[in-house]
């Protein structure tokens, strides 16, 4: 079973384009598919659209009455997937703004089938790239990924900030068993949770790889939800928590692995 997770906030323009694309790509796939959307307090027509599509597609909707941000939305999506998936299922996390083309899902799954736990759609692999991104935004993205690579080195990864990823359900279930509600601990700090999930999975021994991917920012149909100052603060806080001597995440992860041997 392929389970697609979509965080949605004011996506009435994107959903009528993205959901049919997902259905066209995954219809008839062996094992079937379903989509879980977390409607994070949308104030536009997102709720009505999701209600309509729930009668047409294998779609489940989680509702937040007020906007709680990407961190809490991702937490609820991953916890719901972990609760309802079989261990051999595949979890795909995508953005809801039509910048992630569903056709890349097959490339992600193919890599999972080669003994990896997490596969990331990467702009920085040969054949990858981005369309419609300003030179300034591209520079900031490169700089942020370099920062993450220096302070959170993970084997085989160049792309840390793209949320388009495939996960073995088993590794997500294991992470939630180990971390509980702290799998996404920094949920109030913007897009920090996108990086935090990778770091927490690395600490429990997940195996990572990437596939080339083209970000279609020229197709973005909704306003950006990212507040750069909040996310930057989140990265700083996370760096301190990870590297803090003796009691930081990295030190705790090392002790846990040693005790399990």
Token pair listed for 14: 């994107």
Per DSSP, 102 falls in state G
Nearest to 249 by CA among 169, 180, 182, 161: 182
Surface-to-core class of residue 217, CB atoms within 10 Å of its CB (0-12 exposed, 13-18 middle, 19+ buried): middle
Between the alpha carbon of residue 112 and those of residues 93, 98, 217, 233, the distances in Å are 14, 23, 26, 33
Strands 2-8 and 90-93: parallel
Question: pTM of the full predicted structure?
Answer: 0.94
Residue appearing with tokens 């051999």: 88
Pairing between β-strand 59-64 and β-strand 90-93 as defined by DSSP bridges: unpaired
Tokens of 100: 């992630």
Question: Encoding tokens for residue 90?
Answer: 């595949």
Give the Cα separation of 184 and 188 in Å (integer).
10
Token pair listed for 200: 């927490």
CA distance 190 to 186: 8
CA distances from 217 to 100, 196, 220 (A): 9, 23, 5
Return all residues near 207 (Cβ < 8 A) that are at least 6 apart. 115, 116, 117, 118
**234 alpha carbon, distance to own chain's centre:** 16
| 93: three-class secondary structure by DSSP | strand
To the nearest 10°, the Cα dihedral for 80, 81, 85, 87?
Answer: -120
DSSP secondary structure letter of residue 58: S
Domains of the chain: 2-260 (3.90.550.10)
Q: How far apart are CA 33 and CA 1, in angstroms?
A: 5
pLDDT the model gives residue 228: 81
Q: Specify the pLDDT at position 41.
A: 96
| Two tokens, residue 102 | 């569903």
Tell me, what's the pLDDT at 261?
59
pLDDT at 241 (0 to 100): 95
SS (H, E, C) 172-217: HHHHHHHHHHHHHCCCCCCCHHHHHHHHHHHHCCCCEEEEECEEEH
Per-residue pLDDT tens digits of the chain, which is 261 residues long? 999 999 999 999 999 999 999 999 999 898 999 999 999 999 999 999 999 999 999 999 999 999 999 999 999 999 999 999 999 999 999 999 999 999 999 999 999 978 899 999 999 999 999 999 889 888 888 888 899 999 999 999 999 999 999 999 999 999 999 999 899 999 888 889 999 999 999 999 999 999 999 999 999 987 777 778 888 899 999 999 999 998 899 988 887 776 665
């Amino acid at each position: 079973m392929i389970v697609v997770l979509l965080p949605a906030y004011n996506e009435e323009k994107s959903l009528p384009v993205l959901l049919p694309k997902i259905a066209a790509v995954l219809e008839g796939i062996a094992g079937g598919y379903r989509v879980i959307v977390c409607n994070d307090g949308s104030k536009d027509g997102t709720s009505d659209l999701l209600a309509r599509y729930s009668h047409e597609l294998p779609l489940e909707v989680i509702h937040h009455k007020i906007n709680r941000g990407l961190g809490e939305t991702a937490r609820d999506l991953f916890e719901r997937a972990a609760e309802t998936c079989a261990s051999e299922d595949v979890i795909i996390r995508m953005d809801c703004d039509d910048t992630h083309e569903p056709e890349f899902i097959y490339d992600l799954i193919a890599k999972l089938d080669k003994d990896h736990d997490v596969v990331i759609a990467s702009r920085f692999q040969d054949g990858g790239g981005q369309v419609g991104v300003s030179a300034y935004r591209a520079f900031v993205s490169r700089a942020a990924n370099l920062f993450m690579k220096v302070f959170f080195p993970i084997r085989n990864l160049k792309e840390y900030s793209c949320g388009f990823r495939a996960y073995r359900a088993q590794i997500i279930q294991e992470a939630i068993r180990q971390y509980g509600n702290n799998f996404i601990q920094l949920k109030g700090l913007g897009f920090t949770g996108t990086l935090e999930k990778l770091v927490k999975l690395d600490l429990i021994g997940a195996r990572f790889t990437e596939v080339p991917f083209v970000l279609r920012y020229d197709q973005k149909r909704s306003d950006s939800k990212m507040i750069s100052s909040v996310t930057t603060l989140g990265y700083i806080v996370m760096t301190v928590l990870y590297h803090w001597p003796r009691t930081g995440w990295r030190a705790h992860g090392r002790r846990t692995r040693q005790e399990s041997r």
